[in-house]
Amino acid sequence: EAQVTQNPRYLITVTGKKLTVTCSQNMNHEYMSWYRQDPGLGLRQIYYSMNVEVTDKGDVPEGYKVSRKEKRNFPLILESPSPNQTSLYFCASTRSGQGYYEQYFGPGTRLTVT
């Protein structure tokens, strides 16, 4: 089954404790993205990757890091989480090229930073 998986699904942590949210897709997609969802703001792109070792900032990258060492994986790293990063996070992937405009979303990770 084609899918995007995220782990963990729920996470409660404390300010300053480094954490990683994993994302993996089994569709051999080139593009992957991270979004955060906040009430009244919809979803906003944090970072994206066009392929292995190629990443770039989205609209709200502050406080986050990413890496893309394998095509299927795109982890989101919060090196020093703060309460304003409490949010619902979605990973997404899509094929590269004209005509491939649909993004496939993971189930989401709900993060609470106290």
Partner 1 sequence: AQSVTQPDIHITVSEGASLELRCNYSYGATPYLFWYVQSPGQGLQLLLKYFSGDTLVQGIKGFEAEFKRSQSSFNLRKPSVHWSDAAEYFCAVGALLNGEYGNKLVFGAGTILRVKS
Residues near partner 1, by CB under 8 A: 31, 33, 35, 40-45, 48, 50, 58, 90, 92, 94-98, 100-103, 105-108
In this structure, are residues 77 and 62 in contact, taking their beta carbons and an 8 Å threshold? no
Residue 88's nearest CA partner among 4, 7, 3, 10 is 10
Q: Which is nearer to partner 1, 58 or 63 (CB)?
A: 58
Query: What is the phi/psi pair of residue 84, to 5°?
Result: -75, 0
Q: Which is nearer to partner 1, 85 or 94 (CB)?
A: 94
Token pair in block for residue 8? 């963990």
Q: How far is the CB of 98 from partner 1 (least distance, A)?
A: 7
Q: How far is the CB of 96 from partner 1 (least distance, A)?
A: 7
Q: Which is nearer to partner 1, 15 or 58 (CB)?
A: 58
